[in-house]
Amino acid sequence: MTEPSSIQELPLIIDGIRLNTIAAHIRRPDRKDLVLVELAAGTNVAAVFTKNAFCAAPVQIAKQHLAEATPRYLLINSGNANAGTGQGGIEAALACCSGVAKVTQCLTNEVLPFSTGVIGEALPVDKITSCLTDLNSGLDAQLWRNASEAIMTTDTVPKLFSAKFEIDGKALNITGMAKGSGMIRPNMATMLSYIATDAKFDSAQLQSSLQQAVDHSFNRITVDGDTSTNDSVVLMATGKSGVTIDKTNLESFQKVLNELCETLAKAIIRDGEGATKLINVVVENGLDETECAKVAYAIAHSPLVKTAFFASDPNWGRILAAVGYAGVESLDIDKVELFLDDVCLVQHGGLSQSYTEEQGQRVMNKAEITVSVNLHRGSAKTTVWTCDFSYDYVKINAEYRT
């Protein structure tokens, strides 16, 4: 999948979406950490959430509210995950939704709450609700960049992309933001993403389109193999363009949505905590996609592989070992081929006769590297994106709460 030429970092305004940010001092006194997003009446919303059994209170409430009503507002805070907080966390999330409802004159279940940050600490509800009047009064369609910065935690850069495209000769816009840097292995990490388009969708198709895009983007990235308690991806379709997406033009829209999600997902990996390299892990010719993903994640999760990449060490034995323990039944190791970019490392169960250490070193010195594994078992293929493990990853996570 390639990024379309229309993907850009300059955010496009989405008719029907307004945003605002404010410093609620949830964890740090020197940064904006609270976002309110207003959705025009008639906007359809789809969402995909974490599969972590200890899902955060806002995830539980967002799921409930999404099932009960059509959302009109999203409330997002950084600095505190409101996870592992029991019934008190549920009540806190509901209190924040109720606060938004009071200020905006909507129903409580028309508000979806989202949180990211430290797990296990009580959400400071009073700090949040005291800001809501000011947040609401300053809503503006142009504040996507401010919002993308306010949802960051250990991220070093905001992740915000847009695309302008045409369907049936009519112009459409899509804009998406994401946050995530560590605790990243979505299973739908700490990862949040909000995407809006002015296309018109029915609810069932919107959910299906989002799930397809997520499965091949956010669900194919890993920094450290940890699935967060708070992961959420939301797709909002305001319908303001007047262009209805149906079976006749869905493929065209899906292509852009997939590419935008992939761009956001790869931006998360590029900004992985302490990361210095982007690693594309491609596994092809497996029996099915599940088998390919097993092998790809075994490589992408291996601390030994990831530290070798940080050191620019072409230690191909570590990659080969990961392929071997991935759990592929009846794997014929004599058929497996392993490449770093265009350099063949392994053939016929051992080191390729054409390989030289100089070739491997040339590839390992790059900032972006592709590991390719050919299983020669079928026709399925998948790609997983990951990064290296550096000294800084340990430092960032050792000092996360200090």
pLDDT tens per residue across span 74-107: 999 999 999 999 999 999 999 999 999 999 999 9
Determine contact, residues 73/39, Cβ cutoff 8 Å. yes
Q: Token pair 């609620």 is at which residue?
A: 24
- 3 within domain boundaries: no
Look at residue 390 and tell me whether its pLDDT is greater than 80.
yes
Instruction: Using only the alpha carbons of the chain, give its radius of gyration.
Output: 22
pLDDT tens, position by position, 200-210: 999 999 999 99
Please name the helix (run of DSSP H) or strand (run of DSSP E) that holds residue 15, with its range, or none.
none
Q: What is the pTM of this model?
A: 0.89
- 195 within domain boundaries: yes
What number of other Cβ atoms are within 10 A of residue 156's Cβ? 12
Q: What is the CATH number of the domain that holds 215?
A: 3.60.70.12
SS3 330: coil
The predicted pLDDT at position 225 comes to 64
Residue 360's pLDDT band, with cuts at 50, 70 and 90, is: very high
Report the pLDDT averaged over residues 250-262: 96
Q: What is the CATH number of the domain that holds 309?
A: 3.10.20.340
Here the tokens at position 182 are 């560590």
**287 lies in the same domain as 370:** yes
- 296 within domain boundaries: yes
**194 lies in the same domain as 303:** no
The predicted pLDDT at position 85 comes to 95
- 38 within domain boundaries: yes
**252 lies in the same domain as 334:** no
**110 lies in the same domain as 192:** yes
Residue 223's pLDDT band, with cuts at 50, 70 and 90, is: confident
- 337 within domain boundaries: yes
Active-site residue identified among 190, 197, 222, 382:
190
**283 lies in the same domain as 266:** no
The predicted pLDDT at position 186 comes to 55
Residue finishing a domain among 237, 252, 270: 270
Give the closest residue to 210 by CA, choosing from 152, 253, 163, 266: 253
The predicted pLDDT at position 391 comes to 86
Alpha carbon distance 224, 221 (integer Å): 10
**364 lies in the same domain as 256:** no
Report the pLDDT averaged over residues 215-233: 80
- 389 within domain boundaries: yes
Look at residue 379 and tell me whether its pLDDT is greater than 90.
yes
- 216 within domain boundaries: yes
The predicted pLDDT at position 185 comes to 62
**282 lies in the same domain as 266:** no
Give the closest residue to 172 by CA, choosing from 21, 2, 4, 46: 4
Instruction: Tell me, yes or no, if 190 is annotated catalytic.
Output: yes
Output the furthest CA–CA distance in the chain (Å, rounded). 72
pLDDT tens, position by position, 166-198: 998 999 999 999 998 755 565 544 579 999 999
**242 lies in the same domain as 178:** yes
Query: Into how many domains does the chain fold?
Result: 2
Residue finishing a domain among 270, 297, 324: 270
The answer for 315, left when phi > 0, alpha when psi is -120 to 50, beta otherwise, is beta
Q: Token pair 């530290």 is at which residue?
A: 307
pLDDT tens, position by position, 146-170: 999 999 988 889 999 999 999 989 9
Look at residue 73 and tell me whether its pLDDT is greater than 60.
yes
Residue finishing a domain among 270, 287, 304: 270
Here the tokens at position 201 are 């969708």
**252 lies in the same domain as 305:** no
Query: Which of 27-31, 223-227, 228-232 holds the top average pLDDT?
Result: 27-31
Look at residue 46 and tell me whether its pLDDT is greater than 90.
yes
Look at residue 3 and tell me whether its pLDDT is greater than 70.
no
Q: Alpha helices of 271-377 — where are they, by DSSP H?
A: 289-301, 303-310, 316-324, 357-364
* 383 DSSP β-pair partners: 282
**234 lies in the same domain as 347:** no
- Using N-to-C axis directions, what is the helix angle for 86-104 and 57-68, rounded to 10°? 50
The predicted pLDDT at position 189 comes to 43
Residue 349's domain comprises 278-398
Query: Which of 219-233, 288-302, 304-318, 343-357 shows the lowest mean pLDDT across its residues?
Result: 219-233
- 5 within domain boundaries: no
More confident site: 222 or 91: 91
Q: Token pair 């804009």 is at which residue?
A: 175
**185 lies in the same domain as 134:** yes
Q: Token pair 């078992």 is at which residue?
A: 377
The predicted pLDDT at position 29 comes to 83
SS3 148: helix
More confident site: 56 or 399: 56
**221 lies in the same domain as 329:** no
The predicted pLDDT at position 187 comes to 59
